[in-house]
Amino acid sequence: MKTFSYARARDAAEAVTGFTPGTMYLGGGTNLVDLMRLGVAAPDRLVDVSRLPLDGIGFAGETLHIGAAVRNSDLAAHPLVRTRYPMLARAVLAGASGQIRNMATVGGNLLQRTRCPYFQDISRPCNKRQPGSGCPAIEGDHSNLAIIGHSDHCVATHPSDMAVALAALDANVYLTGPDGDRVITMPGLHRLPGDTPERDTVLEPGELIIGVELPPPPPGPSTYRKVRERASYAFALVSVAALLDVAEDGVIREARLALGGVAHVPWRARHAEQALRGAPATEVAFTRAADAELAHAQPLARNGYKVPLSRNVIVRTLLELMP
Amino acid sequence: MIEITVRVNRAAHQLTIDPRMSLLDLLRERLRLTGSKKGCDHGQCGACTVLIDGRRANACLALAVACDGADITTVEGLADGDDLHPLQDAFIRRDAFQCGYCTPGQLCSAVGMLAEQGPSAVTADLAEDPPVTAAEIRERMSGNLCRCGAYVNIVAAIEEVAR
């Protein structure tokens, strides 16, 4: 591991002031420390933001504010999150292990990097790690990589479960940085790879996530369903965050749907949502909505299984949410 | 080099360390507390699990410098002299290991897990704090791998203590 200097910031302003080129912010470290050990990340300086006084969860009017330093386990265990935003509690609980959820922060979870095997292996080319070096995943092992929104330069997926629920909930991400504060609505924080896959997000150098705000959820039950290669402690092959509000007459008033494990971003399934609104809440309509989204999928040679898997996971999850 | 203070198993230590040092290496190499094991060194196996300020965590993923001021408990700190922690006792009686390499991590993880509140991924009703069933234990302990496959007896030992 390359050597670096370390400083613990007392507040967000001090963290931003302490940012110089080559600096990285350190949250729980569960991804960054590993990437440093692998040689994928090599910061000159770490500014530790894991103990900033941004560790509260509470209502500000109608919206629920979650500090960026809140640990994943505290987020999932919070009574307001469990009762008002069940898809978020379920998404967080579906990620990682008890140990890692105790360490990982909300801000760090959003900024974790892809687990694409080529990105994590510095002996291989990777456009995300080394722009212009190529993407061996396209011809190689991409069985768990993207099926939608990818490019000729990168087929990586975003690994977060939490971000998928935040995308479905229209969560606002609060940022502070050298040029001031701003707010980005999910899933707008993350970006498609295009020809600049080295940029996962729209964050500018020195910008720091200070919190996430959840607007009041639409009425209706919600959940998160994750399919993976083992029963627990694995990244998603496909996951879905879903909310369904069905009127008395059986017509869908509102639907929220976002997919994980399929794209470079937490994928808000707006085509499917549009197909669901106003449709009867039936398995036929759910399948049609899933197909409306997956019509845009462009699976690679060895990950075509994710298309029917996504369809089935969407349909099964919506059926589970039927009144 | 940077100076930190940590409490480990109720004893305070002032140490000058390289900022690259993990908490796991600090425990093993500097304090000679070799109970915590280095399995994968990537947070995937759980053999390095310790309690940081009472909460279970992977010591391999924690930078020691980021633990300045923290209170650490390792497997060496679970027993009270010759009186084993109830989980240690249950692991022995239930034969909850074969080679023993993952055991310190399993024990610290189980101690931390039993103190945690709230639902897990297998809890049906999110509003409830579920009872500690075998299914809940299996899910909550999924961050601790056992290559010998002693899971059946590990679950039984934890279930016994939880009751």
pLDDT digits (tens, 9 = 90+) for B76-113: 999 999 999 999 999 999 999 999 999 999 999 999 99
Q: Which residues of B touch A33 (CB under 8 A)?
A: 22, 61-63
CA atoms within 13 A on the CB side of B162: 20
Interhelix angle for B151-162 vs B86-93, to 10°? Answer: 140
First to last CA, chain B: 47
The pairing of beta strand B55-58 with beta strand B49-52: antiparallel
Task: Please report the pLDDT score of residue A153 as a whole number.
Answer: 98
Task: Please report the pLDDT score of residue A195 as a whole number.
Answer: 98
**A22 domain residue, yes or no:** yes
- Check if A229 contacts B (Cβ < 8 Å): no
Question: Of B74, B108, B128, which residue constitutes the final position of a domain?
Answer: B74
Q: What is the rounded CA–CA span in Å between residue A291 and residue A286?
A: 9
**B80 domain residue, yes or no:** no
Q: Which residues of A touch B22 (CB under 8 A)?
A: 33
**B81 domain residue, yes or no:** no
Residue B28's CATH number: 3.10.20.30
Q: Do B61 and A102 touch (CB under 8 A)?
A: no
Q: Which residues of B touch A52 (CB under 8 A)?
A: none
Decide if A288 contacts A310 (C-beta within 8 A). Answer: no
Question: Of B11, B41, B74, which residue constitutes the final position of a domain?
Answer: B74
pLDDT digits (tens, 9 = 90+) for A214-246: 999 999 999 999 999 999 999 999 999 999 999
Residue type, B67: C
Residue A21's CATH number: 3.30.43.10
Residue B130's CATH number: 1.10.150.120
Which residue range is the domain that position B126 belongs to?
Answer: 86-162
Closest chain A residue to B113 measured between Cα atoms?
A98
Q: Do B63 and A82 touch (CB under 8 A)?
A: no
**B79 domain residue, yes or no:** no
Q: Which residues of A touch B65 (CB under 8 A)?
A: 6
SS3 A149: coil
Task: Please report the pLDDT score of residue A43 as a whole number.
Answer: 98
Residues B18 and B51 in one domain: yes
- Check if A320 contacts B (Cβ < 8 Å): no
Buried b (16+ CB within 10 A) or exposed e, A117-131: bbbbeeebebbbbee
Which residue range is the domain that position A257 belongs to?
Answer: 222-320
Burial degree of A195 (CB within 10 A; 0-12, 13-18, 19+): exposed
Closest chain B residue to A2 measured between Cα atoms?
B20
Q: Which residues of B touch A37 (CB under 8 A)?
A: 41-42
Number of domains in chain B: 2
**A37 domain residue, yes or no:** yes
Decide if A104 contacts A93 (C-beta within 8 A). Answer: no
Number of domains in chain A: 2
**B32 domain residue, yes or no:** yes
Residue A274's CATH number: 3.30.390.50
ipTM exceeding cut-off 0.85 for this assembly: yes
**A178 domain residue, yes or no:** no
Q: Do B138 and A94 touch (CB under 8 A)?
A: no
H helical segments located in A131-213: 162-168
**A251 domain residue, yes or no:** yes
**A300 domain residue, yes or no:** yes
- pLDDT truncated to tens, each residue of chain A (323 aa)? 999 999 999 999 999 999 999 999 999 999 999 999 999 999 999 999 999 999 999 998 899 999 999 999 999 999 999 999 999 999 999 999 999 999 999 999 999 999 999 999 999 999 999 999 999 999 999 999 999 999 999 999 999 999 999 999 999 999 999 999 999 999 999 999 999 999 999 999 999 999 999 999 999 999 999 999 999 999 999 999 999 999 999 999 999 999 999 999 999 999 999 999 999 999 999 999 999 999 999 999 999 999 999 999 999 999 999 98
DSSP state of B77: G
Q: Do A4 and B20 touch (CB under 8 A)?
A: yes
**B129 domain residue, yes or no:** yes
As a 3-state breakdown, chain A gives helix, strand, coil percent values, each rounded to 5, of 25, 20, 50
- Sign, Cα dihedral of A40, A46, A47, A48: positive
Task: Please report the pLDDT score of residue A60 as a whole number.
Answer: 87
Best mutation target among A75, A97, A224 (most B Cβ atoms within 10 Å) is A97
The token pair at A210 is 């200070």
**B68 domain residue, yes or no:** yes
Radius of gyration of chain B (CA): 16
**B148 domain residue, yes or no:** yes
Q: Do A1 and B20 touch (CB under 8 A)?
A: yes
Decide if A7 contacts A50 (C-beta within 8 A). Answer: no
Closest chain B residue to A51 measured between Cα atoms?
B66
**A172 domain residue, yes or no:** no
Residues B55 and B116 in one domain: no
**A239 domain residue, yes or no:** yes
Q: Which residues of A touch B19 (CB under 8 A)?
A: 3-6, 46
**A105 domain residue, yes or no:** no
| A302: closest CA of chain B, how far (Å) | 26
